[in-house]
């Protein structure tokens, strides 16, 4: 059995949201390029009025700024309004051979055990700070990489790869490079 204790706090959630925003930023820059190129083409071809060409270029250039501000504002709003994060909810994760059990407790959370099987995991991402266990495309549980009470990071890494497979498990290769 491997056990990890995580205290949910705003720093872990902010880091997770920043990583998610970075992974989607390619889409914003693709849209930016499309708007700018379309505006330039329309400007020189005189396909539409010059006003609309300039409008397309301006909208294209503002998209990254709008994306950044929207993500930041929404993240901060959620973090400020969440009673679970304000009072640092504690989660204790136990990785057994056939299932995962985690207990969640805190000031605004009634202590409870939740169980799910390894088949329910959509994917897992690991970085220097945390393990992100996705149970859907958009919902992930966050485990602090420093919170091991039984076992170690290397043991959990190997255990999870065996349980979910390497296709569902993403991690930075430099974390496990031979030194």
127-162 confidence digits (pLDDT tens): 888 899 999 887 888 898 889 999 999 999 999 999
Give domain status of residue 96, yes or no: yes
Q: What is the pLDDT of residue 108?
A: 66
In terms of residues, how long is the chain? 179
Residue 94 and residue 150 share a domain: yes
User: Do 48 and 110 have their domain in common?
Assistant: no
Specify the DSSP element, H or E, that contains 169.
strand 169-171
C-alpha to C-alpha distance for 164 and 159, rounded to whole angstroms: 9
Structural domain includes residue 179: no
Together in a domain, 36 and 59: yes
Backbone dihedral angles phi then psi of residue 67, each to the nearest 5 degrees: -60, -50
Residue pLDDT, tens place only, 69-128 = 988 888 888 777 766 666 677 889 999 999 999 888 777 667 778 888 999 999 999 988
Residue where a domain terminates, one of 84, 112, 137? 84
- Tally the C-alpha atoms within 13 A of residue 71's C-alpha that lie toward its C-beta: 19
Distance, CA of 38 to chain centre: 32
Domain residues for 108? 2-9+86-174
Considering the domain boundaries, does residue 163 fall inside one?
yes
Residues 77 and 92 in one domain: no
Q: Are residues 161 and 142 in the same domain?
A: yes
What per-residue confidence (pLDDT) applies to 179? Answer: 56
User: Do 90 and 80 reside in the same domain of the chain?
Assistant: no
pTM above 0.85, yes or no: no
34's tokens: 């499309």
Structural domain count of the chain: 2
Over the stretch 14-46, which tens digit does the pLDDT of each residue have? 777 777 777 778 889 999 999 999 988 888 887
Residues 6+ apart with CB under 8 A from 99: 115, 116, 117, 118
**Quick one: 168 and 133 in the same domain?**
yes
Give the pLDDT of residue 31. Answer: 92
For the residues 52-57, what does the mean pLDDT come to? 90
8 A C-beta contact, residue 164 and residue 118: yes
pLDDT of residue 162: 93
pLDDT for 109 equals 65
CB 48 within 8 A of CB 162: no
- Residue 25 is predicted with a pLDDT of 85
Q: What is the CATH number of the domain that holds 142?
A: 2.30.29.30
């Amino acid at each position: 059995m491997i056990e990890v204790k995580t205290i949910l706090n705003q720093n872990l959630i902010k880091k997770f949201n920043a990583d998610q925003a970075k992974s989607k930023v390619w889409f914003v820059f693709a849209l930016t390029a499309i708007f700018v190129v379309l505006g330039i083409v329309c400007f020189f071809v005189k396909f539409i009025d010059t006003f609309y060409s300039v409008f397309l270029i301006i909208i294209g250039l503002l998209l990254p700024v709008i994306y950044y501000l929207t993500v930041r504002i929404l993240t901060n709003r959620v973090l400020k309004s969440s009673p679970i994060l304000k009072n640092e909810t504690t989660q204790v994760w136990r990785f057994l051979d056939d299932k995962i059990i985690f207990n969640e407790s805190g000031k605004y959370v009634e202590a409870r055990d939740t169980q799910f099987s390894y088949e329910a995991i959509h994917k897992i991402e690991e970085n220097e700070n945390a393990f992100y266990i996705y149970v859907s495309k958009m919902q992930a549980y966050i485990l602090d990489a420093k919170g091991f009470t039984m076992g170690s990071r290397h043991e959990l890494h190997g255990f999870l790869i065996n349980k979910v497979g390497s296709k569902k498990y993403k991690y930075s290769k430099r974390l496990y490079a031979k030194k």
